[in-house]
């Protein structure tokens, strides 16, 4: 299978070259047949890369340890269910997965692109395939997953124990797909610039793929947080790890882009700004790949250290120089149809929102590159910890939440202070009442109180918009439910965005509660002994040790009581993998809407006692609930708008002779 996989990579490489050359030559000489064949070459990269992918997967299934990559990331002891995870466990396989996803998304984007971009399409294809060519070159020369061993080992080294988690089936693919998906709107924007089409031709395709990339990245980040929460054993879900930040930065940039592109679509404004945003976002995605490919920063999320990171950094520098040079060459043609008429407008709210998002992204980027700077100038790596990000980015996120509440209440173009007061009276009054109620109930810390208040402001702002629209339609239909459904269907991008905003509220709600009201205790318990933490009585009933072929499992069994009543039996699991000299943990977690009871067992003592870390994490489940809501809002926003059918009426004019 190694020979077949390698052959498929070379064929994909040739197809990408032909697609680039054919697109540019075809448009230069106005040869439709060449343009069509170049487009078909783009489509054909999909089956060739599928062949390469299947070949590698078969290598894992058949335990073909002659393939060096299979040897490095699997073993006879590895459970077959983790074959897919092992496929992208290292640089070589993950790069092949990225190339496949880029090929699939490029094909879908080109195949379903509107006829209005016919003049742009060849340049979009050449941009997409140029980036694909870079990945294929790196895979073939520097990270070939089909390289063979000089001899055939009897067994492989095994899969990284931290990857044997349900979240690993989805989290890495989602994150990698989200990062490379930023290529698609970038290609549409750059393609329009190369073609000299500086109007609004590309924005529908750019917006659609911007939302797709944004949603995939967002879900990938949430799944990564869930993985960290359940398996790393520190009781948290987000530590501002460099690789976590690698996904967060382009997500922030794409958030700015998908909001700003709506202003261009609605008002013909922000043309320059949107091109800048998509270039920066694509650059941030490339920077994330640099960190993930063996950059100077150590992370539990990153792949093995290698020189690949620097190759990605050089490619990022090249694409940024090329893109901004192209932008400045078209600068005079990128003028907006209209100017901002008033600071009290939705356009200005979007602009401030964009600037804040980029500011947070660049602060996060500074924290990520600071170790690189210290490595270059001081020959040592100095990392920036979570307190820096929390203190600097935390208040900025609160301002963003405030803008989420205010933005929907502002009209386009301009308004008056009295109109703003009328629109904001209900949301602000309601949020203040919520804050007063929370204060009475014992929420006295400043930042969580503000966070809860601002989150409620967003909720009541959205509720006000939905209520007004629903009541207007209910006057005609006399059915509130159908009126609400019709309201959502009438402007899916807008109301799908509101649903996504509710997901962000849930996220903020969970982060505020778990960050400021966590209770944590480290306890040593003998079998049969109990401890009280908050409202819980936790009894350590005993332990089990299970010997496996490649690791030893240690299981601590616990019984949890509340108000003298048993509410749960829990088991805290950990394992030690001698070949990796690595321990892995899986927390015992009991979740409710109010809080998580989170228990980790770190070791067993000689007398049979267990060492436990017991944590009460308030409101964490709201973070995970935000995921399905985010997906639902994205589907609504992307769902095609129904076109109103219009009957054609034939009119016969009298024949006046």
Q: What is the DSSP string of 395-444?
A: HHHHHHHHHHHHGGGSPSS---HHHHHHHHHHHHHHHHHHHHHHHHTT--
Higher-scoring residue by pLDDT: 582, 652: 582
Rounded to the nearest 5 degrees, what angle is found at the Cα of 359, between the Cα atoms of 353 and 361?
105
Angle separating helix axes 91-111 and 121-141, nearest 10 degrees: 170
Average pLDDT over residues 200-226: 91
Task: Supply the pLDDT for residue 650.
Answer: 43
Task: Supply the pLDDT for residue 279.
Answer: 96
Q: Tell me if 340 is assigned to some domain.
A: no
Q: Tell me if 532 is assigned to some domain.
A: yes
Distance CA(115)–CA(128), nearest Å, equals: 18
For the CA atoms of 288, 293, 298, 299, the dihedral, rounded to the nearest 10 degrees, stands at: 70
Cβ atoms of residues 274 and 261 within 8 Å: yes
Over residues 24-34, the pLDDT tens digits come to: 999 999 899 99
Q: Tell me if 343 is assigned to some domain.
A: no
- Give how far Cα 65 sits from Cα of 82, 143, 214, Å: 16, 17, 38
Over residues 293-312, the pLDDT tens digits come to: 655 555 555 555 566 778 88
- The closest alpha carbon to 400, from 459, 448, 466, 454, belongs to 454
Task: Supply the pLDDT for residue 302.
Answer: 52
Please identify, among 164, 198, 226, the residue that sits at the C-terminal boundary of a domain: 164
Q: Tell me if 5 is assigned to some domain.
A: yes
Percent helix, percent strand, percent coil in the chain, to nearest 5: 65, 10, 25
Averaged pLDDT score across all residues of the chain: 88
Is residue 421 over pLDDT 90? no
Share of the chain above pLDDT 90, in %: 52
For residue 592, the enclosing domain spans 519-618
Task: Supply the pLDDT for residue 246.
Answer: 86
Please identify, among 164, 191, 222, the residue that sits at the C-terminal boundary of a domain: 164
Over residues 429-459, the pLDDT tens digits come to: 999 999 999 999 989 999 999 999 999 999 9
Q: Tell me if 596 is assigned to some domain.
A: yes
Distance CA(16)–CA(138), nearest Å, equals: 14
Higher-scoring residue by pLDDT: 88, 433: 433
Task: Supply the pLDDT for residue 319.
Answer: 95
Distance CA(49)–CA(106), nearest Å, equals: 13
- Extract the tokens encoding 195: 């073609």
Task: Supply the pLDDT for residue 652.
Answer: 43
Over residues 61-75, the pLDDT tens digits come to: 999 899 999 998 888
Is residue 651 over pLDDT 50? no
Cβ atoms of residues 100 and 167 within 8 Å: no
Q: Tell me if 143 is assigned to some domain.
A: yes
Buried b (16+ CB within 10 A) or exposed e, 250-287: bbbbbbbbbbbbbbbbebebbbbbbbbbbbbbbbbbbb
Over residues 501-515, the pLDDT tens digits come to: 999 999 999 999 999
Count of residues making up the chain: 657
Among 39-43, 222-226, 383-387, 561-565, the least confident range? 383-387
Average pLDDT over residues 35-45: 95
SS3 587: coil
Share of the chain above pLDDT 70, in %: 95
Q: Tell me if 312 is assigned to some domain.
A: no
Domain count, the chain: 2
User: Is this prediction's pTM over 0.95?
Assistant: no
- The closest alpha carbon to 216, from 364, 293, 102, belongs to 102
Spatial strand order in the sheet of 595-604: 519-525, 610-618, 595-604, 588-591
Is residue 571 over pLDDT 90? yes
Q: Tell me if 492 is assigned to some domain.
A: no
Task: Supply the pLDDT for residue 233.
Answer: 75
């Amino acid at each position: 299978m190694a020979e077949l996989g390698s052959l498929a990579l070379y064929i994909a490489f040739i197809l990408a070259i032909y697609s680039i050359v054919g697109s540019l030559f075809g448009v230069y000489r106005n040869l439709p047949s060449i343009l069509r064949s170049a487009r078909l070459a783009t489509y054909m990269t999909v089956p060739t890369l599928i062949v390469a992918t299947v070949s590698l997967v078969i290598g894992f299934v058949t335990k073909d340890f002659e393939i060096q990559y299979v040897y490095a990331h699997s073993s006879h002891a590895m459970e077959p269910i983790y074959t897919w995870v092992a496929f992208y466990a290292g640089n070589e396989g993950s790069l092949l997965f990225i190339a496949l996803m880029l090929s699939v998304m490029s094909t879908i984007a080109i195949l379903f692109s509107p006829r209005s971009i016919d003049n742009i399409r060849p340049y979009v294809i050449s941009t997409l395939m140029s980036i694909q060519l870079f990945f294929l070159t790196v895979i073939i020369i520097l990270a070939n997953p089909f390289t063979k061993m000089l001899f055939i080992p009897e067994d492989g080294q095994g899969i990284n124990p931290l990857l044997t988690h349900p979240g690993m089936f989805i989290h890495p693919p989602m994150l990698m797909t989200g990062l490379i998906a930023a290529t698609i709107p970038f290609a549409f924007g750059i393609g329009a610039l190369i073609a000299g089409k500086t109007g609004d031709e590309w924005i529908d395709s750019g917006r659609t793929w911007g939302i797709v990339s944004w949603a995939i990245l967002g879900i990938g980040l949430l799944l990564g947080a869930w993985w960290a929460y359940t398996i790393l054993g520190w009781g948290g879900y987000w530590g501002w790890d460099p690789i976590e930040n690698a996904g967060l930065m382009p997500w922030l940039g794409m958030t700015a882009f998908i909001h700003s592109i709506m202003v261009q679509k609605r008002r013909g404004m922000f043309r320059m700004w949107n091109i800048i945003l998509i270039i920066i976002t694509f650059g941030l995605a490339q920077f994330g790949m640099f960190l993930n490919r063996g950059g100077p920063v150590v992370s539990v999320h990153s792949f093995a250290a290698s020189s690949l990171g620097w190759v990605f950094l050089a490619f990022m520098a090249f694409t940024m120089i090329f893109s901004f040079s192209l932008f400045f060459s078209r600068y005079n043609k990128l003028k907006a149809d209209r100017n901002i008429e008033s600071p009290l407008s939705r356009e200005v709210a979007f602009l401030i929102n964009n600037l804040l998002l980029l500011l947070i992204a660049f602060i996060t980027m500074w924290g990520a590159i600071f170790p690189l700077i210290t490595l270059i100038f001081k020959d040592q790596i100095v990392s920036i910890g979570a307190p820096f990000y929390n203190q600097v980015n935390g208040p900025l996120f609160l301002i963003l939440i405030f803008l989420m509440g205010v933005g929907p209440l502002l009209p386009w173009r301009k308004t008056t202070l009295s109109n703003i007061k009328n629109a904001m009276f209900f949301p602000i009054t309601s949020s203040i009442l919520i804050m007063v109620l929370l204060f009475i109930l014992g929420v006295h810390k400043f930042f969580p109180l503000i966070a809860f208040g601002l989150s409620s402001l967003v909720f009541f702002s959205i509720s006000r918009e939905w209520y007004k629209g629903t009541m207007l339609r209910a006057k005609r239909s006399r059915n509130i439910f159908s009126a609400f459904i019709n309201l959502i269907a009438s402007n899916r991008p807008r109301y799908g965005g509101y649903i996504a905003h509710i997901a962000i509220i849930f996220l903020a709600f969970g982060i505020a509660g778990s960050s400021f009201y966590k209770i944590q205790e480290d306890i040593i318990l003998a079998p049969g002994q109990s401890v009280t933490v908050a409202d819980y009585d936790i009894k350590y009933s005993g332990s089990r040790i299970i010997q496996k072929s490649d690791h030893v499992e240690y299981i601590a069994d616990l019984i949890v009581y509340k108000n003298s009543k048993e509410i749960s039996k829990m088991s805290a699991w950990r394992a030690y993998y001698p070949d990796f000299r690595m321990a892995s943990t899986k927390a015992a977690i009991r979740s409710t809407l109010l809080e998580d009871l989170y228990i980790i067992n770190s070791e067993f003592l000689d007398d049979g006692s267990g060492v436990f870390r017991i944590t009460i994490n308030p409101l964490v489940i709201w973070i995970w609930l935000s995921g399905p809501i985010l997906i639902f809002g994205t589907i609504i926003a992307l769902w095609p708008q129904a076109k109103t059918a219009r009957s054609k009426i034939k009119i016969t004019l009298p024949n006046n002779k």
